Structure 1
Amino acid sequence: MNNSPEKHPTVLVADDNQEILDLLADDLSENYEVIKVTNGQEAIDYLQENMVDLIVSDVMMPYVDGYELCARLKESVSHCHIPFILLTAKINLQYKIEGLNHGADAYIEKPFSPTYLQAQISSLLRNRHHVREHYSKSPETPLQSMAFNKADQVFLQKLNSLIMDNLSEQGLCVDMLADSMHMSRPTLYRKIKAISNLSPNELINITRLKRATELLIDREFKIYEISALVGFNSSSHFTRNFQKQFGISPKEYADSIENKTL
């Protein structure tokens, strides 16, 4: 039995006021692993080699301020999926609009309630968790459903096309995808894991199974033929994977679709 504690989501907090930074970290540390940085450049440097689940950033900081940090990350294919909350003492509506225009997912005015910040973080992370779960468990839900912005939609469309074009190849792997996506293997791995909470190989497997559901609906091929078309080395291996992923056998799924059309 695995008795290791469940890993907390990682939240990066950026603020050049050390007292506020420590207070934020203290408030969040019970539910999250907190990474503290004092400006946007430190955040960018940290993100080059590390994954985080969400960013909370002050607007006014030296070197790279919150607006620029948010804009640069939202323009980066490696980081645009990260939920971003901006904090500011400026209460003018125009500043709020500017923050959202830079791609922020939420904008909170200082002074703010720690409970409200916790609720905002929880809401953003919970929403993404539900989207990932729905994608994994629903046979018909497409990969692009996990995109929360245009950049991720383009990324996922390209990734899905590459997997689909090579679906019958049993040797399809992250190295092949990384080369075609013009990304390093670690960068692609982190990106896929961050968006879907799946490894590249797990994502490839689910994409095979989702394509199989389309072929099952068409009813033009037998199950052993479908298993080969989507890259499984045996129909029994395919059936076990399908049952484990969707909680129903390929035959039961095909029969349920047929019954719906009667």
Structure 2
Amino acid sequence: MTESILIIDDNEDILEFLSVVLGDSYQLHLATNGEIAQTVLDKEIIHLIISDIMMPGIDGFELCRLIKSDVEYCHIPIILLTSKNTYKAHIEGLEVGADAYIQKPFSSELLQVQIANLLKNRRKIKEHFASSPFEDVRVMAHSKTDEAFLKKLDEYIRTNIKDPNIDIDMLAGHMFMSRTTLYRKIKSLSSLSPKELIDITRLKQAASLISRNEFSFYEISKMVGYSSQSLFSRNFQKYFKMSPIEYFDSLPRE
């Protein structure tokens, strides 16, 4: 999947320059002010934001503050670009939640490395969560807001885990979000669809039950909402790279 970057700058030359530098590696969305940026965020799955600080209307500091305080977007890493070469400006950028702060004029190589590192770290966390039977969903949180969102989502799925029909509509109703907004949030945070997140939560609960050695695999598959033991086994293998019996055999014995 090609990751998408939203670039916000009122200078058309900067937008054109960054399009040339980043266009071959990422899917780009361009905005000349905060209002246009908001429209893009409402429609697209964005993996990273690059924003100038000095803009008419909503400046970069205020935009960063708004994004980082909104549950729908607070997980998106933000790089602030500025010509303000002062310690105070740097501190303010970090205080509003910026993940990186780059001074103009900047080298395109420095920007590319900074982007690559931020996205790579996010990818590693997502992959670790998806492939680790006991890793808590909150490992993917990048803020207290994200942590609360993921905890509420996880608790709902686990409370209703025996129901094989949990779907995005049920999740959206519980989270007081539209289907589209919830899908974007979950996909951007975890690289998983809501259905895949439900499946992984079922399988993590199954891994916990397997480790207790109190139930058969058939019983466990029913307890976590699978109508078919064969489907349960296939999905377990898909995400954790081992079958339920192989997982059981790998557990330490007292």
TM-score relative to the length of structure 1? 0.95
Q: Distance in 2 between matches of 1:35 and 1:231?
A: 40
Q: Distance in 2 between matches of 1:234 and 1:29?
A: 45
Cross-structure match for 1:248: 242
Q: Distance in 1 between matches of 2:221 and 2:15?
A: 53
- Are the counterparts in 1 of residues 29 and 40 from structure 2 also a CA contact under 8 Å? no
Cross-structure match for 1:3: none
Percentage of matched positions with identical amino acids: 49
Cross-structure match for 1:95: 89
Deviation (angstroms), 1:234: 2.1
Root mean square deviation of aligned Cα: 1.0
* Structure 2 residue corresponding to 1:68, chosen from 24, 46, 62: 62
Q: Distance in 1 between matches of 2:24 and 2:238?
A: 34
Whether 1:105 aligns to 2:74 is: no
1:87 partner SS: strand
Whether 1:51 aligns to 2:50 is: no
Q: Distance in 2 between matches of 1:15 and 1:150?
A: 28
Whether 1:261 aligns to 2:253 is: yes
Counterpart mapping for 1:12-161 below 5 A = 12-161=6-155
- Structure 1 runs of 4+ off > 4 angstroms? none
In the TM superposition, what whole-angstrom CA distance separates every residue of 1:74-125 from its partner, at most 9, and x where no partner exists?
1111101111000001111110010011010000111111000000000000
List gaps (5 residues or longer) in structure 2.
none
Q: Distance in 2 between matches of 1:32 and 1:256?
A: 40
Q: Distance in 1 between matches of 2:63 and 2:44?
A: 16
List gaps (5 residues or longer) in structure 1.
1-6
2:49 partner SS: strand
The aligned length equals 254
User: AA paired with 1:155?
Assistant: F
Deviation (angstroms), 1:261: 3.0
- Are the counterparts in 1 of residues 80 and 100 from structure 2 also a CA contact under 8 Å? yes
2:43 partner SS: coil
User: AA paired with 1:180?
Assistant: H
Q: Distance in 2 between matches of 1:244 and 1:25?
A: 37
Cross-structure match for 1:200: 194
